[in-house]
Structure 1
Amino acid sequence: MPKTSARLLALLSLLQARRDWPGALLAERLAISERTVRRDVDRLRELGYPITAVKGPDGGYRLDAGSQLPPLLFDDEQAVALAVALQVATTSGAGIAEAAARALTTVRQVLPARLRHRVDTLRVSAVPAPHEAQVDSAVLLAISAASHAGEVLRFDYAGAEVPRRVEPHHLVTWGGRWYLVAFDLDRDDWRTFRVDRITPKVPTGPRFTEREVPGGDVSAFVWSRFRGVDASGEWPCRGEAVVHLPAREVAQYAREGAVRELGPDRCLLSSGSWSWMALAASLAHFDAEVEVVGPQELRDAFTLLAARCARAVR
């Protein structure tokens, strides 16, 4: 049986991982008796953790939110994860760099020497994107509050002549910037807005019933918007070409494309892009002969690209 302190830490970590825990399952996970679980729960309560008993056939426990902050306990993995998160947060563009640095210092001071040493040896250099835009954390909170409450968000948008009215759905980060995914009420369609260009207006609008983002997946929706693909994740322009290089070399740069070997120095590359010219340019970047298989739109794009390249060197 592990020592009491280590056992309490493990018990607390489990209680934080899910809402309700049957006593028998806790005993099984910790390899102790249910009686010991009850004693350990009482010890955590004495330390200030608001753990309530859950009624039911199996019984169990739940860690609730309390009015006071009890002692914070972290296992080794949690301490490392927290240190990484706080160091990376300094380049999140959310305007919390100073607060994150102070939080890391505070956490470090209360960690045991053993964990403090592990955290000190961890050095993470999070390099911001060249075009990263700083966002006021108050704006992020205002958008999050409206989204959580299900209230229409009104805001001025840089470059727009009139205020926007949207049903806020999700905040996302992409390429060093923060974006709001929302349903635009005036345009009756889904839109993405750069948060650094948003100035929220108060009060917020009426409550709304949440809609499902197209495709049902926020990440896939944002990816499709920024890559120029449709809601299904498919490129609007797809074509095939024979590249006179070994398949293993082409596959390294094919991204979402499919590569099929035709011989030791030839392969068939099926790929897609947001336009035929972009697809032709991506195929032309290989330092090798390229034979267009189809469709005709891709052949026409190569003809236009060749003419432009010829004019560029005149």
Structure 2
Amino acid sequence: MNVASGDERDTTERVLTLLGLLQQRQVWTGPELADRLGVTTRTVRRDVERLRTLGYPVHAAYGVGGGYRLGPGQQLPPLLLDDQEAIATAVSLLAGAGGAVAGAGDAALRALTKLDQVLPTRLRHEVRALSGSVESFDGGRVPVDPTVLMTLARACRDEVETAFGYPSGNDVRPRRAEPYRLVASDRRWYLFAYDLDRADWRSFRVDRMTDVSARTWRFRPRPSPDAAAYVQEGVASRVYPHRARFLVHASADTVRAQIPAAAAVVRHRGDEQCEVLSGAARLDAVLLHVLLLGHDFEVLDPPELGARCRALAQRLSAAGASFEPPPDGDGRPAGPEEVRGTGNE
């Protein structure tokens, strides 16, 4: 085993200190850095070259106002954070993972998983305490324990089995699963996993899971469905007692812009058509949602919904037949232009 010498350790510590200084201020002169590090300006130049070989774009400018500056690079190199910066970053990522920023939940959780891997133990309790005071003002996302999210995220990354309790009827039963992805909807977090006890793919609501733990058994990933599409379809349809399919005469992009992802699955069926799969507690509610989109549509399934459409159409027609616009002076029903106003006469 190779053990670093004292000189090598001193050099590594000095280079990391140099990196920290460059991240604190926009420009440092050579003599300023040398004074902070207790070395010569020649050693500063050598340490700057070491940082450049590690991927940090350190720029040097000479003359009045010149100095060393850490600039943006083509790739993101590792950042050096002190304790307070690490705590603030972790708490901010927890807020992002909780849904405070639209579309940022998954990315925030991935970044938080990386930070958690290197976060010193002495900081974990402070991060946990501070995260308890972070809330989202929109109030839409069902709260989950960030520790549970972290456990599941690490299990997905490390490809190890998870164990947890999950409601089944009136009981909470133990489950074993191979975790693949965490999926965030507009309201909840879901775990997409292969259920080992049922030998099939399942999605689990994270807020319903209890006693979550990562096991030591590793698994080899199986060919799997698309995690987001699988969870979306389950949220939009299988959780409701009634499901319906419609052929909508509008593009899938147009309809997706009108329907929240958690409310329906929209499938492409051509440039001017799409299939909408949705669910609700009552079939009339599903029908009303599609009707309010403002596009022509056809009922594909279930058959009884087609009969319901005809019955509602008769009721609406009867309700409209009893209404007649007031006649104008010559006894004719007034046209739209005549009803709007007479202007100055």
TM-score normalised according to structure 2 size: 0.44
User: Which of 1 and 2 has greater Rg?
Assistant: 2
TM-score normalised according to structure 1 size: 0.47
